[in-house]
Amino acid sequence: MSVVEIKGVTKTFAQGNVTALENIELELEPGEFVSLIGPSGCGKSTLLRVIGDLTPPTHGTVTVNGKPAHRARKDGDYGIVFQDSVLFDWRTVAKNIALPLEMLGWDRERRKTRVDEMLDLVELRSFADHHPWQLSGGMQQRVSIARALSFEPALLLMDEPFGALDEMTRERLNLELLSIWEKLGSTVVFVTHSISEAVFLSTRVVVMSPRPGRIAGVVEIDLPTRTAETRYTPRFFELVTKVRELLRSRGEHLLPEEEELLEADR
């Protein structure tokens, strides 16, 4: 059974009469790591929100874990991570991670055990009692990931989670995320506008094009291993080029600043 099934999804925004998504078809198998990539305005974040039932599609259906997206959200079937960590300043690191568990009605004992496990997973054990504003941006994002995974959702939705971080932190967190994903085996939908990040992390890269938001193509990623050195291998370059060409093929739709974005990634 697919974890996510998107059928004929179209999303239009009444304001400005914008078609954010047009006739999207996509299926995710259990354990897949799928990146959505494309220039700004291609609807990749909107698609993520439609999967999470945070915004309804205008047409089409989304099924998560075999249930309508709305039911899946009510059942807590997915965890979500945004670009800004969205941590609550009045809660400590441990309490932030415990938030979804509190809402699921877990008792104190069980929460404590799980939070400790999650703190170990993201290597923040010694920061349990710190407040978010005392942490660096990278650490905050690790807390956010720990929170999203704390209740073991089948699906992890990530909206440009490392977009606001510096390059070095980003690459380190890429490796960390991979090891977490391998350990837990969750299915991941990962929105990014970095080609190398998408290729490095994913089993599949879905390239999207803007106005209206469509799937321009899909690149299967067959990297044998993923380590810090993977980024220097010829296969990695080939795959990056493939994704870039797909983005380029819709180049006539790109705005100058989107061209720049693609150039910057080279």
Partner 1 sequence: MKRIVEWLPALVVFVLVVGLWEGLVRALHVQQFLLPKPSTIVSVFWTDRHTLWPAGWYTFKEALGGFAIGSGLGILAATVVGRFRTLGTALMPIFIAANAVPIIAFAPIFGAWFNPISPRSKMAVAGVLCFLPVMVNTLRGLNSAKPRQIELMRSYAASELEIWRRVRVPTALPFVFTALKVASVLAMIGAIVGEYFGGSLNALGVLINNAADVFQFPLAWAGILVASLLGIALYSAVVAAERVVVRWAPDTRDA
Contact predicate 217/47, CB 8 Å:
no
Closer residue to partner 1 in complex, CB, 89/109: 89
Closer residue to partner 1 in complex, CB, 86/255: 86
Closer residue to partner 1 in complex, CB, 54/255: 54
Cα–Cα dist 20/93, whole Å: 36
Cα–Cα dist 11/213, whole Å: 9
- Binder to partner 1 among 60, 76, 163, 217 (CB under 8 A)? 76
Q: 99 is written with which tokens?
A: 């938030």
Cα–Cα dist 226/82, whole Å: 24
149 lines the binding site for partner 1 (CB under 8 A): no
Closer residue to partner 1 in complex, CB, 82/162: 82
Whole-number minimum distance, CB 100 to partner 1, in Å?
5
Binding span for partner 1 by CB under 8 A among 97-105, 196-204, 212-220, 255-263: 97-105
Burial of 183 (0-12, 13-18, 19+ CB in 10 A): exposed
- Binder to partner 1 among 131, 204, 244, 253 (CB under 8 A)? 131
Nearest 10 degrees: CA dihedral of 189, 86, 124, 111? -90
217 lines the binding site for partner 1 (CB under 8 A): no
190 lines the binding site for partner 1 (CB under 8 A): no
Q: Which of residues 167-186 bind partner 1 (CB under 8 A)?
A: none
Contact predicate 212/20, CB 8 Å:
yes
Closer residue to partner 1 in complex, CB, 26/155: 155
164 lines the binding site for partner 1 (CB under 8 A): no
DSSP state of 17: G
- The radius of gyration of the chain's CA atoms, rounded to the nearest angstrom, is 18
Cα–Cα dist 86/100, whole Å: 13
Cα–Cα dist 65/30, whole Å: 9
Other CB atoms within 10 Å distance of the CB of residue 146 = 26
- Binder to partner 1 among 33, 82, 162, 200 (CB under 8 A)? 82
105 lines the binding site for partner 1 (CB under 8 A): no
Q: Which of residues 16-75 bind partner 1 (CB under 8 A)?
A: 49, 52, 54, 73-75
255 lines the binding site for partner 1 (CB under 8 A): no
The tally of CA atoms less than 13 A away on the side-chain side of residue 16 is 6
Number of residues located near partner 1, criterion CB under 8 A: 22
Residues that bind partner 1 (CB under 8 A): 49, 52, 54, 73-76, 78-80, 82, 84, 86, 88-91, 99-100, 103, 131, 133
